[in-house]
Structure 1
Amino acid sequence: MTATIPEFPALKEARGKLVAKQDELGSIFAEAGPDLDLSKVKSIPGAADTKAVAEHIRSLNDECTDLAKDVDDLAAVHKAAESSAGRGTRGGGVEPGAGQTGIPGAETTKSLGEMFTESDAFKTKGRSADLDMELKTLLSRSAGWAPETTRGPRVVDFATPAPQILDLIPTTPTSQAAVKYMEETTYTNAAAERAEGGPYAEAALALTERTSVVQSIGVWLPVTDEQLEDEPRVRAYIDNRLPFMVRQRLGSQVLVGNGTDPNLRGILNVAGIQTQAKGTDPVPDAVYKAMTKVRVTGQALPNAFVAHPNDWQDVRLLRTADGIYIWGSPSEVGPERIWGLQVVQEAALTENTGLVGDFANYSELAVRRGVEVQVTNAHADFFVNGKQAIRASLRAALVIYRPAAFATVTGI
């Protein structure tokens, strides 16, 4: 049977404080009425407006929360003390004052609850009291049974950007080592009205052969036989990460490759693309001017704007003079578009430079061989040392059919 122990002063005091704060909060809501009109509340000293009333309500609610936690903690201590006292008197034949054997006059053995509630620490500190008794070796992780821990299957990838630009460029297969095509480099339209019997105006056309060489991009990784045999997830992990590395490098080459063999020539290094300096213009104005150049000079329809994430951040945070966010409130995702164009955030792009272009019609990624993953132990001394070489690679050419269909925006 559980013994009944009166509530100790700290618990009573905490309960009283909690009730008082609850009553105070209740009276404020009563003043506000069922429609919660805070302007009706007049009982809060120094509250000049509804904002101050609301802050006072939040403060009272926080106090009630803290006091309720205190009450719960103190009540748990009180309940533990009652349970311990009940265990100390259980067994039915021992009279008060009797010893552990039940013989009157023998030394009394106190229960854990009695020792706790009668200790000086409990009387002076309330719920934060320490047990006033001598403890033997504590059973803990360092001197007891160490817990078993199993590692989960998740692998947290290294923080590295995924290529986004590749999603904009159409991909086609090729069976050649280079992509050759003809570009119309002279176009003279002499069409005009003529009088009866008069001569026709002579037009002029000229074509130039262009070539984009297929280049190889690849990477390899040495792995021991034991690693592949003992952990079944290793092969899948490598099959995922090595192709990712190849595509990540391809994305960078598509944008900023210098064209020196064996590099691709990235869009920013293609001769003939246009440029629009930001100057004193806001970024949206400079982007629109670049779009106009693509339309007028390039005679193309721009379908995307590529920007470094730090540069797009500046656009996303643009505000009016009175502080209103132009690209949407912070509580909203906001449109990933500018002047109707899709915005692609590409970390491989040079910061402070944007790119507008008609990617759909005038760019192409000609793939000679897609990403392949191959394994061999015929490398150096790998066979005798139980190692394997895993390689991922692809072969592709980037073709920009009309350079003027693209324009950079500099100085963002």
Structure 2
Amino acid sequence: MRTTTRPLNFSASGCVPSPQTSPRSNTMDFPALKEAQGKLNAARKSLADVFAEAGPTMDLAQVKSIDGDNTNKVGWIRTKNEEIEALAREVEGLEQVQKAARNASQYEAPAPQAEVKEREFKSLGESFTQSLAFKGRSGPVGPAAHLDIEMKALFETGGGGGAGWTPETTRTGRVVDLATRPIQVTDVVPLGSTAQQAVVYMEETTFTNAATEIAEAGTFPQAALALTERSSSVRKIAVYLPVTDEQLEDEAGARAYVNNRLPFMLRQRLDSQILVGDGNAPNLKGFLNVSGIQTQAKGADPTPDAIYKAMTKVRVTGRATPGAVMIHSTDWQGIRLLRTADGVYIWGNPSESGIERLWGLPVVVNEVITQGTALVGDFQNYTELAVRRGIDVQVSNSHSTYFIEGKQAIRADMRAALVVYRPAALCTVTGL
């Protein structure tokens, strides 16, 4: 019985374990960042005020804070949006947030195409057009010529119905993957590591600040603090694939192909669990099912306004700095195609690719989140994917009757816990 083990760590687009990290301090504590964040918030508020004036119908004629006609007002909006974009990138640079690159699928170089040999026999038509009778004709009369015609079966390629064989056709070596959802969410969540079966931490659940001024010999006021233990269990995601011995031995690219696709299956499932996992063992508890996260209903507001209000809740109630917006592709389409009452596109002309940012925040467009719901949050400071063990791929013939059937079971699994340190740092936007 043969058993081999191949541990594969998460890639940049998946989950490369990094040292244990704790929730970082609020980014507003740094002077340079505080100044840049202040400018960014001021620019966002300025643009939000203009949208509030325009109303749900985006009627720029109602905007009195900007001089000029609608064209001038749209120009001002775009300029302000570009300013927000530049400020947001400056803030991100100060935070030194780096996104890891995705695993690149590696395939073997295409094999050279086999050359097809020329036909060895001439057809009756070819023999006639190359004969003296055809070439030496003059007018309706020409010299006679004999054609050497083989009366036996013509030895030609099998495709012509003759006695020969079909030419060899060599595959290029390229494998076109099935159209499936890519990894879209995982990169937003910072990675940590854990050596335990659960991530256990303490949360300050009571903070009563009784500090006040007192007179000489006065009684000191009493404050109150309380901590509560929180825990997030490590869960396993796994998959396996049966493969014959001959497939692995005879096809050089088979093992590389399987070792690429199985880990992708795990990362794709993890990507989904991070957002919508229901928390019932053995599922992770995704962001949308965490107790204590905030919510903001769209109501009659334009979608950008509702998302801005969610950002405000994250700042005011969650005392956090929103860092990204997760939104379904269909809902993002509605925002990207927003137009004023006279038909001018708000976020840029159709000839422009446009930026995937909203109020300066990067937009994580995906098909994991429920359509009609967006999620705003400070993911970098108050969420973490704690990896107990990265992706491990193993091959064995000990499964069932695989040994006597000449089969191999290739399995892959990983273990991780998803932690939300401060639920109020996240806020959903519903009714989009």
Give the alignment's TM-score, normalised by structure 1. Answer: 0.67
Question: How big is each residue's C-alpha offset from its partner over 1:30-54, in whole Å with a ceiling of 9 and x where there is no partner?
Answer: xxxxxxxxxxxxxxxxxxxxxxxxx
Q: Which has the higher contact order (CA 8 A, sep 6+)?
A: 2
Q: 2:298 aligns with which of 278, 289, 312?
A: 278
Give the Cα–Cα distance (whole angstroms) in 2 for the partners of residues 310 and 189 of structure 1.
46
Provide the secondary structure at the position in 1 that maps to 2:405.
coil
Which residue number corresponds to residue 160 of structure 2? 142
Cα distance in 1 for partners of 2:255, 2:342 equals 56
Structure-to-structure mapping, 1:173-192, within 5 angstroms? 173-192=193-212
Letter in 2 for 1:383: F
2:274 corresponds to 1:254: yes
Instruction: Tell me what 1:380 maps to.
Output: 400
CA contact (8 A) 1:163 1:348 kept: no
Cα distance in 2 for partners of 1:339, 1:90 equals 81
Measured in 1, the distance between the counterparts of 2:271 and 2:406 equals: 35
Distance (Å, rounded) in 1 between the aligned partners of 2:391 and 2:269 = 12
Aligned to 1:370: 390
**Number of equivalences:** 293
Is the Cα–Cα contact under 8 Å of residues 134 and 142 in structure 2 kept in the other structure?
no
Structure 1 residue aligned with 2:322: 302
The one-letter amino acid paired with 2:143 is Q
1:150 Cα deviation after fit: 2.4
For structure 2, the residue ranges without an aligned partner over 5 or more in a row are 1-128, 146-153
Instruction: State the partner residue of 1:335.
Output: 355
Taking a change above 3 Å as real, the CA distance of residues 100 and 256 of structure 1, as seen in their structure-2 partners, is same
What is the Cα deviation at residue 142 of structure 1?
3.4
Give the corresponding residue for 1:100.
143
Specify the SS of the correspondent of 1:291: helix
Letter of the aligned partner of 2:191 in structure 1?
Answer: T
Q: Which secondary structure does the structure 1 equivalent of 2:388 belong to?
A: strand
Q: Would you say 1:351 and 2:351 are equivalent positions?
A: no
Cα distance in 2, alignment partners of residues 301 and 95 from structure 1: 94
Spell out, residue by residue over 1:1-35, the C-alpha distance to the aligned partner (whole angstroms, 9 max, x if none): xxxxxxxxxxxxxxxxxxxxxxxxxxxxxxxxxxx
> Would you say the 8 A contact 2:195–2:388 is kept in 1?
yes
Identity %: 62
Residue 267 of structure 1 corresponds to 287
CA-to-aligned-CA distance 1:129-150 (integer Å, 9 cap, x gap): xxxxxxxx9x994345755432
> Of 358, 368, 380, which residue of structure 2 is paired with 1:360?
380
* TM-score (ref. length: structure 2): 0.64
- Separation in structure 1 between the aligned mates of residue 221 and residue 297 of structure 2, nearest angstrom: 40
Contact 2:242 2:407 in 1 (8 A): yes
Q: 1:298 to 1:90 in 2, by over 3 A?
A: same
Please, which of 377, 385, 408 is the counterpart of residue 428 of structure 2?
Answer: 408
Work out whether residues 242 and 392 of structure 1, in 8 Å CA contact, stay in contact via their aligned partners in 2. yes
Aligned-partner SS, 1:327:
coil
| Aligned pair partner of 2:415 in 386, 395, 399 | 395
Q: Which deviates the most, 180-189 or 314-323? A: 314-323
- Deviation string 1:59-90 (CA, Å, 9 cap, x unpaired) is xxxxxxxxxxxxxxxxxxxxxxxxx9xx9885
CA contact (8 A) 2:234 2:416 kept: yes
Distance verdict in 2 for CA 1:90–1:241, change over 3 Å: closer
Q: How far has the Cα of 1:329 moved from its partner?
A: 1.4
Query: Which amino acid letter does the alignment assign opposite residue 315 of structure 1?
Result: I
Q: Secondary structure at the match of 1:383?
A: helix
Q: How many angstroms apart in 1 are the aligned matches of 2:234 and 2:362?
A: 29
- The C-alpha deviation readout for 1:329-354, integer Å capped at 9, x for no partner, is 11111010000001001211111110
1:239 maps to 259
CA deviation after TM superposition for structure 1 residue 156, in Å: 1.4
